[in-house]
Amino acid sequence: MGTMKRLLDKERLLVIVGMTFFWALFRHQTVMQRMFPVEGTVALGDIEASQFAVFLAVLFGFGALAFLLARRIERFLVEHKVGTLACSALGTLGIVMGTTEEFSSPVAFWVCTLLFTVGFLALYLSWASYFSRHYSLETIFVLSISYLLSLLLFTVAKSLFPALLVFLVELLPLACGLCLYLLPQAEGGFEERSAKAIPRYKLLYVVLFIAFLLVGSVTRGIVDGMNGFSTASMPYSMRRAISLLLAVAICLICAYRYYKFTKGIAGAGVLKGAGLQKREYAEGERLTLLCWIFFVLLFFVGMAVIVASQSYALGGHIVVVARSGLDFLLWILLCGIAASERVRTCRLFLVCGVLTEIASWTISYLIVPLAATESQEFFSSLGGRSILLSLFFLLALLTLTFGALSLNRESVAASETVPDAKREWPDAIAPEVVGRYGLSKREAEVAWLYGQGYSLSKVASRLYISTGTAQTHIKSIYRKLDIHSRNELIEIVLPR
């Protein structure tokens, strides 16, 4: 009950609503296809180019520029939330222009493309930075809730309120940016991080993960682009139904692992500090791998149906749904790496996130549909399906192997830090200090972590409380100790 109350506080609700809008903007192709239809063209001199291809080229160019200016951009997005809000407003303006017939000239197309790309990248990097700073099992659970709600939002809007869907699509960037703007300012401002390399075993795990995702994009392109696909036998509404069931399953898995971890920590007397943090990072990667196994099994179910039925009508949609969920898992995996390895978030997400999506969209909506049209017989043949199945099997095996290696190393690292954590917690604040000032057990925990340099949001995450509750404890501590700054707190409660 207490956990649900924390999830329903103002900050968590803003995160859930904001990420619901973000997933709808990022994952659902309703916005992209309305603004940049694959079949739509724009003149580039004497050449007619696909509008969607032009958008991907512009996104790649802006992404490359953002990579070069990653540190400045991340600082700007963290310290100047009004800047993110302004960029999201530009994104909404771009959608309005791109979906209005009055703005159908080539110049208007370029303007709306630039505006939307700026808004999209700003929101993508802002949310990536937020979740990297607040990474925990609770935030993974929150992400799974928002992912499910985004599917429900579009399913209900498409089925019951078609007119509302048009309005919703136009407001997605601005609504998403407004939620970011209303979140509490990051304690201490921008957190400087080194540009150190990711450990090789983790990097290989991510590369294999992305490779599997891109192979899934090939199947998505075949399903959506082949003439052999029968919308009558397997309407797109069925794909949405499967997506909803999958999202519910992932949400339940995340909820179970989160509550189990929380209960285990509470039952063990609560080890706070570095030991718990390492354990939580490892548990986050374990949860990602568990969901990954779930998706892999779903992939093979879909591929088995394709081979058995000699058609992509049903099995292809199952594979596409599983492929779509991998974007959600990749987001969690990158947030965990950014948090545990303390690498620069913007560069990590630009290379492994944005670039991956550009490659995925290019494969799914441009390359494969064209190839499927030209070589439909090959893709429909047993040989073509067998090649895809073999690629899935090989990459799944390699990814699971290196994922297990990553988890094993994280578990060893976490276990090595536990003895130190036991010595430091909870006896770091002398009992006489706690008794003299009348601090409660929770206040002593908050005082210790806050005195160690943790931000309020990090304190809240480590203790499984809301940021507002942590702020209330800090005020109570300051009042009991008759102090007004963190430095004064350190002088009193921390041993010299």
Domain match, 141 and 204 both: no
Which residues of the chain register pLDDT less than 70? 1-9, 29-30, 101-104, 157-163, 165, 185-197, 224-237, 264-278, 310-313, 371-389, 391-392, 395, 399-400, 402-430, 432, 461, 464, 466, 494-496
CA distance 222 to 368: 6
Domain match, 210 and 149 both: no
Residues contacting residue 199 through CB under 8 Å, at least 6 positions apart: 341, 409
Domain match, 366 and 437 both: no
User: How many domains would you assign to the chain?
Assistant: 3
Q: Using the Cα atoms of residue 350, residue 351, residue 352 and residue 355 in order, give the sign of their dihedral.
A: positive
Residue 319, CA distances (Å) to 19, 322, 429 in order: 24, 5, 54
Residue that the structure tokens 């891109």 belong to: 214
Residues contacting residue 410 through CB under 8 Å, at least 6 positions apart: 278, 281, 282, 285, 340
Domain match, 483 and 393 both: no
CA distance 39 to 50: 7
CA distance 366 to 376: 15
CA distance 472 to 475: 5
In a domain, 193, yes or no: no
Residue 361, CA distances (Å) to 53, 92, 369 in order: 9, 21, 11
pLDDT at 292: 80
pLDDT at 405: 66
In a domain, 90, yes or no: yes
Q: What is the pLDDT of residues 459-485, one digit of tens each?
A: 776 776 767 778 888 888 888 888 888
Domain match, 149 and 46 both: yes
Domain match, 338 and 377 both: yes
pLDDT at 30: 66
pLDDT at 201: 74
Domain match, 149 and 9 both: yes
In a domain, 2, yes or no: yes
Q: What is the pLDDT of residues 137-162, one digit of tens each?
A: 888 888 999 999 988 887 776 666 66
The closest of 100, 22, 33 to 331, measured between CA atoms, is: 22
| CB-based burial label for 388 (10 Å; 0-12, 13-18, 19+) | buried
Domain match, 168 and 272 both: no
In a domain, 306, yes or no: yes
The closest of 172, 29, 30 to 94, measured between CA atoms, is: 172
Strand bridging mode 47-50 / 41-44? antiparallel
Last residue in a domain, options 379, 405, 424: 424
Domain match, 174 and 241 both: no
Last residue in a domain, options 143, 166, 188: 188
Domain match, 143 and 154 both: yes
> What letter represents residue 230's amino acid?
S
Domain limits at 388? 198-424
pLDDT at 270: 44
Cα radius of gyration rounded to whole Å, the chain: 24
Last residue in a domain, options 424, 444, 461: 424
3-state SS assignment for residue 473? helix
Domain match, 311 and 430 both: no
Residue 156, number of CB atoms within 10 A of its CB: 12
